[in-house]
Amino acid sequence: MKKIYLMTMLLAFSMLSAFSQVNPFTLTGKVTDGKTNEILIGVSVHVQGTDKGATTDKNGNFSVKLNPGAVIVVSYIGYQNQQINIGDRKTLNIKLMPDPRQLSEVVINVGYGTQKVKEVTGAVGSITEKQMDHHALGDVNTSLQGKIAGLQITSNSGEPGAGATVRIRGASSINGSSQPLYIVDGVPINSDTYNGGLVDDASTFSPLSDLNPQDIASIEVLKDGTASIYGSRASNGVIIITTKSGKNAKKPEIQFSANGSVAALTRKIGMLNAPQFRSAYMDAVYNFTGAQTTKVSVIDSLHPYYSRNNNWQDLMYRTAFQYKADVSIKGAAKDNNINYFVSAGYKDIDPVIINTRFKQTYATAKLYYNISKAISGNTNFNISTNNYNRILTGLSNQSAIYQALSTMPVYAPYDPISGQIIPLLEGSKPNPIAISQLAANKIARWRMFGNQDFRVKLAKGLDFKTTLGLDYSNTEETNFTPQALLPQGQISSSYLTTGKNYSFINENTLNYNTTLNRNHHLTFLLGQSYQKFTDNNVNVVGKGLIDAKITTINGTSVVSLYNQNIEEYSLLSYFGRANYDYKGKYLFSAVMRADGSSRFGPQNKFGYFPSFSAGWRMSEEDWFKPLRFISDAKLRGSFGVTGNQSIGNYAWQGALSSAGTYLGNVAIVSNGVSNTSLRWETTKQVNIGLDLAFLEDRIRFTADAYLKKTSGLLFDVAVPGTTGYTTVPANFGNLENKGLEFTLSTLNIDRELKWNSTFTLSLNRNKVLSLPGNQDYRPNIYNMARVGEAAGVFYGLKALGVYANDADNVYQRDAATGVVTPYRQGSANGAVYKAGDVIWQDVNGDGIINDADLQVIGNPNPDFTGGFQNEFSYKNFTLSTLITYSFGNDVFNEVKRNLDASPYDQNLTTDQLRRWRKPGDITDVPRLVKTDPMLNYAISSRFVEDGSFIRIQNLALNYRIPAKALGRLKVSNAVVGFSVVNLFTFGSYTGYDPEVSSSTNALAVGVDRGSFPRTRTYNLSLNFSL
């Protein structure tokens, strides 16, 4: 023993003496990308066997003191490490080669912790900051569209900040807000869409637009049962957003970005011009009354007020300018004990409808600090405000969108003599231009959310973390309708609704990880969470404002409605997770969560949500090694139970609330019935997945197959009026979703020209498994739920054509007498269909067209959806494209039905050019009859259109200004770009856009109810960093 000791001492001495013989010198050098020759900043250069090292500066240069013969290790995330024996070289240019295999080392967030992609056992999709939308209309929803298999996002409209229907693997809930749960930096945030005020105008807005896409580092989507770590709110999947931080920023980095866009409508709906309209209107009245119309505006084309030939869409829509600017700074202390990220953004958008404007400001700050070796903290803070001067949408009389279509083309919008705007056109119809000028619909929103956490290292491998989070928003919506825009008999009105939304969360977790015998790796998570939500809404409606100067509530003469509604609910949860892997080869994970919610009765408060998943990395097996072209192979499987609790806060208790007064006495009305047996909705999901990578990860392929069954769907079920209520809260039936998802990412060319592509494809099949009493359920007049059919199929009459002649209406002909029994409408006493009426399919063959002849006429659920992303880079140029597609879904064109049903005096679509006019005409469009007494415009297959589309969603060309050109400017990186968003849509749908989603209710989807149309924008952007 002593001998060994002595020998070691001797050796050490001799080495020391050897070193002391040479002089240390300074090595300087530069690190560049071996492929692109781009400068690499922040590369670590470490002298092996010492604690000496350096990192490259903004020009890629480094200098380090070392001894001759030293070995340096050069490493950088995403690149292969290099060890270089320096010898006595004084300068050295190092080229680092990208390491494709590093991708599987990438770490993603799986909820209450992170995992390496290669170790993940659930089905998780993700996008990174590069894939975020940075143009002015971009937000979280638009950024995710078409990029993750199994995630289908349908924007509700083209309005700034518009809400979207977000479906992960089909709709597994059918109640109002069957949305995924959103987690930002570990804290669940309020993501319930809100609508544009008291008036139902078909618009919804997403609180996710309070997040600046520029601040987002990555988004992960948990798709399968492993989302049960979020238990009661994970039925519809979980979307985890991680914002940027200053971690590893060696020096303060300032980034600027500016984006200017020009936006325009992508297409217009074909409406009749003045001569076509006059002829159609005259037909409609003649067919109804048997007499020519005497309506002056229609018959007198020389009348000064009625001589126009407007396309009101041209007058209402404009080419608009939109811009967005962002700045951010990030940095870290050298020892990484403190790091920070702060940012601010501003956008100013002119939507394409005249007289509207949207402005938004965001700011965020994120600070990380080590208090001691064992304790660290993290403070996050986000604020956002927006102001939106908008216009009512939908199908109402005050909707500028609908009026732009329905207003008769003959009217002069401005008085031909005085030049003044004419607010009310003939028959008290508001002039849409006047609506945009005189009515005021405003949304002012303020949102703040943030969280504070502390982590304590209790022992080796054992961490405790406590988080406090706050989410506060205040949305104030006002609407003013001036007297001038209202038919006589109604008076000006103003409403104010303020919604304060507040939530508080406290979460505490313990994390333990350890490795036993080098090969057994274990991780445990134990946690508890308490969250409380408060909504406080005040609505005031006043009437009788004397002018349009003071349009707020205090200008009204009568307060006609005032209402305060405070609602609260709380969630108390306990959860745990255990992960085990053997040599990174066999992976197991088990999750259990118990959630208690105040929304359920005493017996049903708690729900339990377990999941189990396993993975097998076959490529780690010895027998796999010969298959060298497969660089990675993993088989995954999971089973999990998740829940949903989206139902009214007090649904189980019933409610009686104020209904104003009668003769000055307080009046209280029962408006909700209790359901003490109300319980959680649960979804059980099985997932099997395969991850493969070929040719050193140049080709990566992921496939998943899943089966989801949801039972006890929570829903406000419509009940017969004899109950005294319209709906009751209930657990309602069972639903199944099954599907396949594929993602193929390839590096097609890897030379000076580089070409990457990602293709996603998802198929989902949705089926209603059971309903109460297995009876059909109709949530509205368009859709239905029927056992065995997809959720929300369209239900109506099927049109077979139009009777060319009266004699064509033959239900039965008596063989002997030749007497014809015709088809009748509604009942045996109903009217007989005549030439020009629609031929309906008589399903039950009784010669009467009525409710018994309704059938499934369309399916709003697509057969398959997905996206195709491509990125080409050559030298300093990058060209990227995103194509999204959806096939096999039907859209119900309610806008067209409303326009052409013609109960009122309004313009008609160009379909009417094909209308039946005289006996013998063979066409698919029935004769026009004012008020449609034969119900030719009933809900029918005539308005079901194919909603399939392929959309060139994004086409962007970026140019990185070479460092040389930047010269002495202290700019390290500058990129200019040009892009087109929503460039072109291929598809046969005749409305504004085939992507329609008027409702987030899965039973009421695919109905086009006239929302704000989507726009095409041309964007110019400039990004640079210092």
Which residues, 6 or more positions from 1022, have their beta carbon under 8 angstroms from its beta carbon?
256, 257, 258, 259, 974, 975, 976, 977
Smaller CB separation from another protein, 88 or 547: 547
- 915 neighbors 802 (Cβ within 8 angstroms): no
**CB proximity list for 476: less than 8 A, separation 6 or greater:** 443, 444, 445, 496, 497, 498, 499
- Would you give the binding string for another protein spanning residues 578-617, x where CB under 8 A is met? ------------------xxx------x------------
Give yes or no for residue 513 binding another protein (CB under 8 A): no
Determine the 3-state secondary structure of 354 from DSSP: coil
655 lies in the site for another protein, by CB under 8 A = yes
Looking at 391-399, 433-441, 663-671, 917-925, which segment touches another protein (CB under 8 A)? 663-671
Q: Which of residues 935-974 bind another protein (CB under 8 A)?
A: 935, 938
User: Judged by CB under 8 A, does residue 568 bind another protein?
Assistant: yes
* Interface pick for another protein out of 487, 801, 845, 962 (rule CB under 8 A): 487
Query: 205 vs 652, which CB is nearer to another protein?
Result: 652
Closer by beta carbon to another protein, 39 or else 647 = 647
Strands 61-66 and 91-96: unpaired
The three-state secondary structure class of 697 is coil
Task: Please tell me the distance from the alpha carbon of residue 639 to that of residue 955, in angstroms, as a whole number.
Answer: 39
Q: In the set 308, 767, 778, 786, which binds another protein (CB under 8 A)?
A: 778
Task: Give yes or no for residue 932 binding another protein (CB under 8 A).
Answer: yes
Rule CB under 8 A: choose which of 81, 554, 564, 910 binds another protein.
564
> Binding another protein by CB under 8 A: which of 87, 275, 903, 962?
903
CA distances from 679 to 414, 600, 603, 652, 655 (A): 59, 6, 9, 9, 18
Among 662, 788, 964, 970, binds another protein (CB under 8 A): 662
Per the CB < 8 A criterion, the answer to whether 614 and 664 are in contact is no
The CA distance from 748 to 230, in Å, is 38
508: contact with another protein by CB under 8 A: yes
Q: C-beta of 558: minimal distance to another protein in Å?
A: 6
Task: Label residue 582 left, alpha or beta by phi (over 0 means left) and psi (-120 to 50 means alpha).
Answer: beta
Strand ranges (DSSP E) for 371-421?
375-390
CB of 483 to another protein, least distance (A): 8
Identify the residue among 315, 367, 522, 719 touching another protein (CB under 8 A).
719
Could you tell me how far CA 462 lies from the centroid of its own chain?
Answer: 37
Ramachandran category for residue 337: left, alpha or beta (phi over 0 → left; psi -120 to 50 → alpha): alpha
Spatial contact of 357 and 350, defined as CB atoms under 8 Å apart: yes
CB of 340 to another protein, least distance (A): 26
- What residues does 494 pair with on adjacent strands? 480, 542
Q: 3-state class of 3 per DSSP?
A: helix
516 forms part of the interface with another protein (CB under 8 A): no
Question: Least distance in Å: CB of 569 to another protein?
Answer: 6
**In the complex, minimum distance from the CB of residue 648 to another protein, in angstroms, rounded to a whole number:** 10
Q: What is the closest distance, in whole angstroms, from the C-beta atom of residue 788 to another protein in the complex?
A: 18
Q: Select from 502, 530, 624, 811 the one that contacts another protein (CB under 8 A).
A: 530
Site for another protein in 9-38 (CB under 8 A): none
Give the nearer residue to another protein in terms of CB position, either 158 or 469.
469
Q: Which of 115, 190, 193, 649 binds another protein (CB under 8 A)?
A: 649
CA distance 580 to 515: 10
Stretch near another protein under the rule CB under 8 A, chosen from 94-102, 469-477, 538-546, 984-992: 538-546
- In angstroms, give the least distance from the CB of 571 to another protein: 8
Looking at the Cβ atoms of 535 and 921, the one nearer to another protein is: 535
Q: Which of residues 823-852 bind another protein (CB under 8 A)?
A: 825-831, 851
First to last CA, the chain: 60
Q: Select the residue interacting with another protein from 88, 105, 547, 567 (CB under 8 A).
A: 567
Question: Is residue 458 at the binding interface for another protein, with CB under 8 A as the rule?
Answer: yes
Q: What residues from 757 to 776 belong to the interface with another protein (CB under 8 A)?
A: 775-776
- Which of residues 113 and 596 has its CB atom nearest to another protein in the complex? 596
Site string for another protein, 405-444 (x = CB under 8 A): ----------------------xx----------------
Residues 665-684 that bind another protein (CB under 8 A): 665-670, 673-678
Q: Per CB under 8 A, which region of 126-134, 176-184, 230-238, 561-569 contacts another protein? A: 561-569
Of these, 81, 723, 774, 910, which contacts another protein (CB under 8 A)? 723
Q: Which residues contact 662 (CB under 8 A, 6 or more apart)?
A: none
Residue type, 115: Q
Residue (580 or 606) nearer to another protein, CB: 606
Site string for another protein, 156-195 (x = CB under 8 A): ----------------------------------------
| Cβ–Cβ under 8 Å, residues 951 and 885 | yes
| Contact positions with another protein (CB under 8 A) in 280-299 | 288-289
For residue 827, the minimal CB distance to another protein (Å) is 5
309 contacts another protein (rule: CB under 8 A): no
Is the backbone of residue 306 left (phi > 0), alpha (psi -120 to 50) or beta? alpha
Nearer to another protein, 1 or 663 (CB): 663
Per CB under 8 A, the list member of 417, 663, 815, 819 interacting with another protein is 663
Separation CA 786–CA 766 (nearest Å): 12
Count of alpha carbons within 13 angstroms of residue 940, beta-carbon side: 24
739 binds another protein (CB under 8 A): no
Give the single-character DSSP code of 629: T
Degrees, nearest 5: CA angle 500-506-511: 150
Number of residues in contact with another protein under rule CB under 8 A: 102
Q: Which residue in 757, 615, 785 sits closest to 689, CA to CA?
A: 615
Nearer to another protein, 623 or 662 (CB): 662
Task: Label residues 204-225 b or e (16+ Cβ within 10 Å = b).
Answer: bbbbbbbbbbbbbebbbbbbbb
Q: Out of 357, 532, 786, 834, name the contact with another protein by CB under 8 A.
A: 532
Dihedral pair phi/psi, residue 400, rounded to 5°: -65, -30
Q: How far is the CB of 240 from another protein (least distance, A)?
A: 23
Indicate whether 746 belongs to the interface with another protein (CB under 8 A). Answer: no
Q: Is 732 left (phi over 0), alpha (psi -120 to 50) or beta?
A: alpha
Instruction: Tell me the window of 607-615, 716-724, 813-821, 971-979 that interacts with another protein (CB under 8 A).
Output: 716-724
Of 626, 664, 788, 818, the one binding another protein (CB under 8 A) is: 664
Is position 565 an interface residue for another protein (rule: CB under 8 A)? yes
298 membership: H or E segment, kind and range: helix 296-299
> CB of 918: closest distance to another protein in angstroms?
24
CA neighbor of 342 nearest in space, from 377, 366, 378, 369: 366
Alpha carbon dihedral 392, 192, 340, 469, in 10-degree steps, equals 140
- Restricting to residues 356-415, which ones interact with another protein according to CB under 8 A? 374
Q: Decide: is 488 part of the binding site for another protein (CB under 8 A).
A: yes
Q: Is 81 in the site for another protein (CB under 8 A)?
A: no
Residue 548 — φ and ψ, nearest 5°? -105, 15
CB atoms within 10 A of CB 823: 20
- Residue type, position 759, single letter: F
Instruction: Say whether residue 819 binds another protein (CB under 8 A).
Output: no
- 800 is written with which tokens? 């077979």
